[in-house]
Amino acid sequence: MHPEDKGLHALYAEDPVTADRRLWGREVDPLSRRGFLKRSSLVAMSLALGASIPFARFMPGGLIPAAFAQSDEPFAIDGKEGLRVLNDRPINAETPAHLLDDDVTPARHMFVRNNGLPPEPATIDPGQWTLEIAGESCLTPTTFTIAELKERFETHSYQLQVECGGNGRSEFVPSASGNQWTIGAIACPRFTGVRLRDVLEACGIADDAVYIGYYGADRHASGAADKEAISRGVPMAKALEDESLIAWAMNDEDIPYQNGYPLRLVCGGWPGSVSGKWLKKIVVRNQKHDGAKMAPPSYSVPANPVAPGTELTDDDYVTIHSMPVKSLVTFPSSGVEHALGDPLEVRGQAWAGDLSVAEVYTSIDFGITWQKATLKEAPNRLAWQRFTTQVAFPEPGYYEVWTRAVDENGQSQPMVVPGWNPKGYLNNACHRIAVQVA
C-alpha cells in the first residue's frame, strides 16, 4: 500500500515529519505535533497551545488545532499587500482570512492565480488593446477597442466572487499536485464593464451556439509563443447572465496588472478559471469549448464519489460549474487572545456560487452545538454575504470558532474535507480559527 493511502492519522503515527510536510508544507514543532496523535496526549497539546481545551472531549481524534496553521511569511508582489506567496513562477498568492474582512475586497488584497506568463507590463497599452469576438457560432465577428466597448454598450457594475476551483486543495489526502491553496483563493471586489451578453448579441449568436471560450494575452509557462496557458469558458446560459461582465475596472480603478489589466472576463460564482484575464478574444462555440485546461482532469471532479487515491479515466469526470457553499471567519484573525467574560464579536463572509446563502452558524465546541449568526443579504447576485455573531466562552482555555454556511437549497458546508478528487478541487470544509480565552 502506498503510504498516502493510509490516511493522515495513520501517517502521523508512522512518519510525523512527512505527515507535517504534506499537511502544512513544513514541519511543525514536535511538541505541537505529538499533541494530536492521541487524546491521551491532550496534556502535550494543551502545553503547546499554552492553554487547556475546555471542549477537548468533543475534539475529533487527529484534529490539528487551527492555532498551528499560522504563518507570517514575507512577500513582495507589486500592488499587493499581505498575500502569502505559494509560487513565484508563475506568481500564485493567497489572502489570509483576516485580510478578507472588507465588504468589498480591496485590490491590494485580491489573490493572484497565474497559470502561465502574463504579458509584459510594457507591452500593455489600454488605448491600443483590442477584444476580438469570433468563433464558428458568431454571425458577425467583430473587433472592439476598449473605448468602443465603453461607447457602444451600457456600463454595469457588480460585486462578484472569484474563487479558485483549487481553493482548499492543501487539505486533501492523498495530496493533489498544484498550488497548495489553504483558504485564501477567494475575493469579492466590484467589477465594472459591459455585459458579455450585450457584446455577443451585437455580434450575432448563431442558433447552434452552446459555449463560449476566452483567450488571454498571457502565454504558456514554457514560453512557447503559440501555446495558451489557459483558455476556458462557460455554457451559453452562464455567459448570457446579467452579471457576466467584460470588465475594465475593479473597485472604480484600473484592474490590477496581476488580476488581468486592462480587460478581463468575470463570470462570478464559478471556478475563477472561467474568468479570463488580459482578455484578447472570445469565441462563440457550437460545441463545448476545447481550449487549454478545459479537458479532465483540469477543473473537473468525479461525477460520482470515489475512494481517496482512485485513478480515473476522462469519462469519469464532469466539468465544475457553480462553486459550493462556503464561509470564512475574517474577524478576529486566528490565534487571537480574548478576555473571559466579554462576548467575542465574530464576523466573516459566506457565499454559495450561483446560489445565495440562507444561514450561517458558528460552533465553539468542535461542531457539537451551533449558534445561528446574523446574515446580510448580498448587494447583488453572485456577491458574498456578511455574517456577524457574538460568541460567549464558559471558561478560560483554547477554543476554536468554526463556521458553517448553508445555501438556499439547504446544502451545508461539511465539517471535514469533502469528496476527494485527483486535482483537489471544491474543498468547502468549515473554516476554523483559534481563540485563546484568558
Strand 336-338 relative to strand 431-437: parallel, antiparallel, unpaired? parallel
Kind plus residue range of the DSSP H or E element containing 434:
strand 431-437
Mark 116-145 with x for binding to ligand MTE (rule: CB under 6 A) and - for no binding. x-----------------------------
Which of 275, 334, 421, 427 is the binder for ligand MTE (CB under 6 A)? 275
Cα separation of 422 and 311, whole Å?
A: 8
Comparing CB distances to Mo ion, the nearer of 164 and 320 is 164
Cα separation of 265 and 212, whole Å?
A: 11
The size of the interface with ligand MTE (CB under 6 A), counted in residues, is 21
Residues 240-269 interacting with ligand MTE (rule: CB under 6 A): 259-260
Neighbours of 3 (CB within 10 A): 13
Which of 164, 209, 375, 383 is the binder for ligand MTE (CB under 6 A)? 164
Which of 169, 190, 238, 277 is the binder for ligand MTE (CB under 6 A)? 277
Q: Using the rule CB under 6 A, is 233 a contact of ligand MTE?
A: no
Q: Using the rule CB under 6 A, is 162 a contact of ligand MTE?
A: yes
Are 143 and 129 in contact by the 8 Å Cβ rule? The answer is no
Which of 20, 218, 243, 359 is the binder for ligand MTE (CB under 6 A)? 218
Residues 293-322 interacting with ligand MTE (rule: CB under 6 A): none
Q: Using the rule CB under 6 A, is 426 a contact of ligand MTE?
A: no
Q: Which stretch binds ligand MTE (CB under 6 A): 8-16, 233-241, 276-284, 361-369?
A: 276-284
**What is the signed CA dihedral for 263, 93, 426, 255, rounded to 10 degrees?**
-20
Comparing CB distances to Mo ion, the nearer of 163 and 241 is 163
Comparing CB distances to ligand MTE, the nearer of 232 and 404 is 232
Comparing CB distances to ligand MTE, the nearer of 59 and 110 is 110
DSSP secondary structure letters along 275-336: S-SSEEEEEEESS----TT-STTTTEEESS---TT----GGGEEE--SPPPEEEEEES-TTE
Q: Using the rule CB under 6 A, is 356 a contact of ligand MTE?
A: no
Are 104 and 189 in contact by the 8 Å Cβ rule? The answer is yes
Binding residues for Mo ion (CB under 5 A)? 113, 164, 272-273
Comparing CB distances to ligand MTE, the nearer of 30 and 79 is 79
Cα separation of 247 and 317, whole Å?
A: 31
Give the residue ranges of DSSP H helices in 85-219: 146-152, 196-202
Q: How far lies 244's CA from each of 69, 141, 236, 274, 374, in Å?
A: 36, 20, 11, 11, 29
Comparing CB distances to ligand MTE, the nearer of 47 and 292 is 292
Comparing CB distances to Mo ion, the nearer of 65 and 272 is 272
* Interface contacts to ligand MTE, rule CB under 6 A: 110-116, 162, 164, 216, 218, 229-230, 259-260, 272-273, 275-278
